[in-house]
Amino acid sequence: MVSDRSSGTDRREFLLRVLRLGGLSAGTVAAGAWLHGRSARPVEPRLVLADRRVGVAADPSLPELVVVQGESPSAMARRALDELGGIRRFVARGDTVVVKPNIGWDRAPEQAANTNPELVAAIVTLCREAGARKVVVTDVSCNEARVCFDRSGIADAASDAGAEVILPEERRFRQVNLGGDVLTTWPVLEPFLTADKLINVPIAKHHNLTGCTLGMKNFYGILGGQRGRLHQRIHDSLADLLAFARPTLTVLDAYRVMMRGGPTGGSLGDVEFRKTLVAGTDPVAIDAYAAKAYWDLDQHRLPFLRIAQARGLGKMNFEELRSKVVTT
């Protein structure tokens, strides 16, 4: 167990070691170990939001970031939400919830190009248990959408769990002024404009342009149009997007991690079992944590982290958050 008096450097190194080792036993990581004491002065989040204000209130008695390791993605999801205060902290009875996995690619689950379908189903189930009126699962795929939804296993898993699965048909997009420096008027998939809550469920994987793709880049999947144009100023556009659509909750899938060959992947040799899930309310911190742990990337290689923090969208210094590591 890490002492509450441990330095920020100690907490940072401990958190990084958790992700880098993967699958730690309960004997290695004490279940329920706080990494930042309850007595620490709470820091109120500074949110810079445009139209989609779907965050939750800070609670200084709860962790802001939870790392769960285990064998079952569904059990890990349930434990993570319990540690963060329970699903009803994020989803109220009668809510319409959009769950946003990565369904970008014509790949099977074992190739780790898309979010684990078992995890997506678990999030849908939890939302239904909280009394959500409707749970939508959708994404704007890079490959042909129907093929991606089917081959990823997400369409069947989400539907079986009680979600409405929506394909990104052209008629479902609306032109929206996102109010950003790079993202101005852009087509947005309608469910993201009407939902009461947005749950981002990205997968951690390598990306040949940015080095990795995590939660912030996963939200490119709410946009239509020629998204490739955004790569010219990708770091500014990612901060614009987070300012417009800050998720209620981020649940990062690191069960299988594509360490090389991303974002499309294909070779099982590029995939490593890490059997980990990272969940929390600060999307910047979650991205900074996974990027550093898996690819040794920081703000110098990923300027969007620094830009997002400067705009009050989250903390790139993940060790400063109230954090908890558990095993299932």
Question: CA geometry: angle at 234 spanning 248 and 244, to 5°?
Answer: 30
What's the confidence (pLDDT) of residue 23?
Answer: 62
8-24+33-327: CATH topology is: Rossmann fold (3.40.50)
Handedness of CA 113, 116, 120, 121 (dihedral sign): positive
What's the confidence (pLDDT) of residue 54?
Answer: 73
pTM of the model: 0.90
pLDDT in tens, 76-112: 999 999 999 999 999 999 999 999 999 999 999 999 9
What's the confidence (pLDDT) of residue 228?
Answer: 83
Encoding tokens for residue 295?
A: 């690819």
What's the confidence (pLDDT) of residue 229?
Answer: 86
What's the confidence (pLDDT) of residue 53?
Answer: 56
Low-confidence ranges of the chain (pLDDT < 50): 1-5, 25-33, 36-50
What's the confidence (pLDDT) of residue 41?
Answer: 41
What's the confidence (pLDDT) of residue 149?
Answer: 98
